[in-house]
Amino acid sequence: MSGTTPLPTLRRVLARMHLRVTLFAVGLTGLTVLLAGFAAIGAYAGQNLHLIGRSAGYSAAPSIVFDDPVAARQAVAPLLEPGVAGIALLKPDGTVLATVEREGQDDSLARWIADRLFFATPVDEPVIHLGSRIGTVRVRGEGSAVAAYIRDGLLGTLVCLVLTGLAAWLLSRRLRADIVEPLNAIADAAHSFRREETLAPKVPSASIREVEALRIDFNALIAELGDWRQHMRRENETLSHKASHDALTGLPNRALFERRAAEMLAEARAGEASFVLLYADADSFKPINDRHGHAAGDAVLIETATRIRSCLRARDVAARLGGDEFAVLLAAPSGADAAERVTGEIAARMAEPFRLPSGQTVTMTLSLGAAIYPGDGQDLTTLINRADAAMYAAKGDLHARQQGV
Amino acid sequence: MVALIVMGASTSIGSNGLIAETRVPPGQHDAVVARTVGGMISYTRWPEPRPVQRLCVSGATTYTKGFGRIGQSAGRQVQTQVVLPGGPTRGCDILYFGAMADADRLRMLRSIRDQPVLSIAEADADCRGGTIFCLRVLPDRVGFRLSIDAASRSTVRIDPRVLRIALPEDGA
C-alpha cells in the first residue's frame, strides 16, 4: 500500500463488509428462489400445456370425426388461455384441420427468454375416439406469465437490494454509535494527550465490552502516563533549578544571573528605561570561615542571601556569583535613587550581627558597587565592570577607613 | 305443436348455417355421408347397447351407398336394413329417413317416441321434421343439424360435445 493512499475508516470498512455480506445473501437467495421458481413454473407450464392439449382433444374430437374445421376452431378457442400461444388440430395424415392463435403478443426480452427457455417446442397430445387415435392436438405455449414472473422477480430482487443497502447503512450508523465513536473518542483523547492539551483526558464509557475494556485500559494508561509526565516535569524543573541556582543559598547562580541581566538589558533597551546592577562582596568572610569553620561560614552566607533578598522587590534579582560575591539587579525602572536606597537598606540589614549555629555572634559587612543603565554603560560587560570597579572602590574606602581608625 | 329448436352456428354458411359440416371431395358424397352418420352413431349412447346395431333405412335415399362400411366410423358393428316408409320400426336402433310422405314419417317418428332410437333425416334443411339429426348435403360439403327437442324426446343420449358444438354461439 502506498503511503499517499488514505486509509479507509473503520466505519467504511464495516459498512462495506455489511453491504457485501447482505448483497451476497440477498443475491444468492434471490437467485435460488428465481431458479427454483423457474423450474417449478417450467414444470407447471409443461403440465398445463399437456392438460390443455388433452382438454382440447376431448372437446374437438367430434369436429375431427365430422371433419369440421369451424366447429374445431370453436371447440378449442376457449382454451386459448394465458400461457397458450396457439392450438392446432392435426388429422391423422398430418394435415391441419384448424388452428387458433393468441392475439396481442408482447415482444419484451423477458418474454423472449421465457419462450426460448420453456416453450421452445410445442406439446403434442393424441386425440382418441373409440379407442383409436383420430388426430393430434399441438399446443404451443407462450411465456408471458413466466415473463411476468421474471420481471417481478427481478423487480423484487432490486427492491430487496435497495432495502438491503438501506439496512446496511442503518447498521453502519448503529456501528458508528457503538464502536466507531468510542474508538474515535479514545483516538481524540490520545491525540490531545500527545499534544499535551490535557493532562489526563477521560474517555466516556462505551456500550461494547471489548471497546469498554479498551477504554478502561486506555484511561488507566493515560492516567499513569500523566502521573509519569508530571513527575518528569517536576524532576526537570528541579534539575533546571539546580543547574541555575546556588545550592547553598537558593539564589540564582552566575549563569542565571547573566541570563536575567541580559534579558533585563534588552527590556530596558526596548522600553528606554533604566535599571541598576549592584555588585556585593563580603568584607570579612574569610576570617569567619577560618575561625568558626565552614558550617558557620555557610550559615553566614545563607543569612546574607536572606537579608539581601529581603531588601528587594519581587521582580528584582539577587544572585550568588560564587564564594562571598553577590549581585543584584533592580528591575527597570530604577535609577540612582533606587540604587542608593537599596544599598543603604542592605548595609543596614548587614549591620545586624549574625547568630552562628554554635550560638556565637559575628558581624560581616558587604561592599557594594552600583552601575546604572544606560548612564554607566550600554552593554552588560561595561555595566558589570563599572559595578565591580565601584564595589572595589567602596572596599578600598572601607580599608582606608579601617586603617584610618 | 312442438317448436323444434334448430341450432345453427357456422359463420361460413350464414345465420341459418349448420353446426357441423364436412368437406366433400368431388364424387365422394356417399362415403362422407356414411362417415358422418357413423360419427353420429359413435357419439350416441344407447341405454342397452346391442352388440350389433341395426340401421334401418326408409324412404327414397340418395347417399346410402357407403352404408355397408359404416361400422368403421361408428366404432361398432352396424347392420343395415331397409324398412318400408310407414312400416314397423321395431328392432331398429338407428332410423335413417329418406324422402317419404309426411304422414309415413310422422307415424314412424311416433312409433319410436321414448324409444332408444337415433333418428336421422337425409333431406330436411330446416330440421323441423322431428328427427334428432338432419343431414344437409351440399355440393362441396356435408353438414348436419341437431334438434335438441327431438333429442330430448328420445331415450338415446347424444354426447354433450356434439350438443355443445350444436349450440349457437350466442347461446339463444
**pLDDT tens-digit readout, B24-34:** 777 788 888 99
Residue with cell 356434439: B162
Nearest residue to A65 (alpha-carbon basis) of B22, B30, B141, B67: B22
Characterise A363 by phi-psi region: left (phi > 0), alpha (psi -120 to 50), beta (else). beta
**Mean pLDDT for chain B overall:** 80
pLDDT of residue A4: 63
Number of Cβ within 10 Å of residue A117's Cβ equals 15
Quick check: B42 and A129 CB within 8 A?
yes
Edge-to-edge strand ranges of the sheet holding A123-129: A96-101, A84-90, A132-141, A123-129
pLDDT in tens, A148-197: 878 888 888 888 888 888 888 888 788 778 888 888 888 888 888 888 76
In the predicted model, what is the mean pLDDT of residues A73-81? 87
- Chain A: nearest CA to B140, how far in angstroms? 13
Instruction: Give which of A66, A76, A91, A134 to mutate to test B binding, by max B Cβ within 10 Å.
Output: A66
A211-221 burial: b if 16+ Cβ within 10 Å, else e: beebbeebbee
pLDDT of residue A146: 77
Bridge partners (DSSP) listed for residue A361: A355
pLDDT of residue B166: 59
Quick check: B161 and A129 CB within 8 A?
no
pLDDT of residue B79: 92
Quick check: B9 and A74 CB within 8 A?
yes
B165: pLDDT strictly greater than 80: no
A96: pLDDT strictly greater than 60: yes
pLDDT of residue A278: 86
Q: Contact at 8 Å (CB) between A285 and A297?
A: yes
Instruction: Give which of A58, A67, A95 to mutate to test B binding, by max B Cβ within 10 Å.
Output: A67
Chain A residues lying within 8 Å of B39, measured CB to CB:
62, 65-66
A115: pLDDT strictly greater than 70: yes
**Out of B20, B42, B162, closest to residue A130 by CB:** B42
Cell numbers for A94, please give them. Answer: 398430418
Torsion of CA A202, A208, A210, A215, to 10 degrees: 0
pLDDT in tens, B40-64: 999 999 998 888 999 999 999 988 8
Determine the residue of chain B that is closest to A57 in CA distance: B161
Determine the residue of chain A that is closest to B169 in CA distance: A74
**Mean pLDDT for chain A overall:** 84
pLDDT of residue B172: 32
In the predicted model, what is the mean pLDDT of residues A328-345? 83
Task: Give yes or no: A316 in active site.
Answer: no
pLDDT in tens, A244-267: 888 888 888 888 888 888 888 888
Quick check: B21 and A58 CB within 8 A?
no
Q: What SS3 class is residue A141?
A: strand
Flag whether residue B36 sits within 8 Å of chain A, measured between CB atoms. yes
C-alpha separations of A400 from A149, A363, A389, A404, B133 in Å: 127, 19, 16, 6, 175
pLDDT of residue A292: 83
Task: Name the active-site residue from A324, A379, A388, A397.
Answer: A324
pLDDT in tens, B103-114: 999 999 999 988
What ipTM was predicted for this assembly? 0.76
Q: Contact at 8 Å (CB) between B97 and B127?
A: no
Cell numbers for A332, please give them. Answer: 527597570
Out of A326-330, A342-346, A385-389, B117-121, the most confident range is: B117-121
Determine the residue of chain A that is closest to B34 in CA distance: A66
pLDDT of residue B118: 94
Bridge partners (DSSP) listed for residue A180: none
pLDDT of residue B18: 42
Flag whether residue B44 sits within 8 Å of chain A, measured between CB atoms. no
What backbone phi and psi angles, to 5 degrees, belong to B92?
A: -85, 135
Q: What part of B 8-27 touches A (C-beta under 8 Å)?
A: 9-12, 19-23
Quick check: B11 and A70 CB within 8 A?
yes
| pTM of the entire predicted model | 0.55
Task: Place B9 in a pLDDT band, splitting at 50, 70 and 90.
Answer: very low
Task: Please give the full DSSP string across chain B, using - where no structure is assigned.
Answer: --PPPB----GGG-TT--SEEEE--TT-HHHHHHHHHHHHHHTEE-SS--SEEEEEEESB-SS-TTGGGHHHHHTSEEEEEEE-TT---TT-SEEEE-B--HHHHHHHHHHTTTSS-EEEESS-TT--SS-SEEEEE-SSEEEEEEBHHHHHTSSSEE-HHHHHHHS-TT--
C-alpha separations of B100 from A185, A374, B54, B92, B151 in Å: 116, 167, 20, 18, 21
Residue with cell 548595609: A347
pLDDT of residue B21: 64
A53: pLDDT strictly greater than 90: yes
Correct CATH for B11-166 of 3.30.70, 3.15.10, 3.40.640, 2.60.40? 3.40.640
